[in-house]
Amino acid sequence: MTGRAQTETPELVELLAEDGSVIGTADKAEVHTDATPLHRAFSVHLRTPDGRVLLTRRALGKVAWPGVWTNTCCGHPAPGESDEGAIRRRLAQELTIPADAVGAPVPALPDFHYRAVDAGGVVEHEVCPVYVADLLVDPATLPSPNPDEVAETAWAPWTDAVAALRATPFAFSPWFVLQARDPRLNALLT
């Protein structure tokens, strides 16, 4: 038993073969261990018209990489859910950003795939397309993030975020560090 109420529906993630094909599903609460199987995910970078991006610090209660700074939002599409649908759902759940406050996500790194192990031994092993989306409202009007998901937020010019990543990569999620090295993402955010 996972400690979850028996009536609560588990959040499922799609498990993948090495070729990216779906081979099954698993309970998200049970899949992230020291032997995490390859599964479907996404990452999104939210930007303002003046070129700032939203960085988030993961909540201290997160199972993997608690307290590290990362891109705007990451998550797992539900079985059969589109990446755009999952992005809008998770932006609302994590950051309380309404769906109509965000433009259509643009694929930046459609083939991003990584495996990383955090200090506690939890493995992330994901096929994780990376998107950029425009914030359509004034950032000052956004409500506070969900504290179970996000400890802090900061808006920063992309070039400043990249400089911080280069200077102190250990303070950031490994997927964010890898994404920021890709010239395709830099071309969209610079």
Question: Annotated binding site, which residues?
Answer: 32, 39, 76, 94, 124, 126
Residue of 73, 74, 128, 149 marked catalytic: 74
Question: Annotated binding site for Mg(2+), which residues?
Answer: 94
Q: Burial code of 114-125, b = ≥16 C-beta within 10 A, e = fewer?
A: bebebeeebbbb
- Please count the other Cβ atoms lying within 10 Å of the Cβ belonging to residue 20: 11
Q: What is the DSSP string of 46-85?
A: EE-TTSEEEEEEE-TT-SSSTT-EE-SEEE-PPTT--HHH
126 is catalytic: yes
Residue of 126, 128, 149, 152 marked catalytic: 126
Question: Which token pair is 72?
Answer: 């705007």
Question: Annotated binding site for Mn(2+), which residues?
Answer: 32, 39, 76, 124, 126
d(CA 141, CA 69): 22
Active site residues: 74, 126
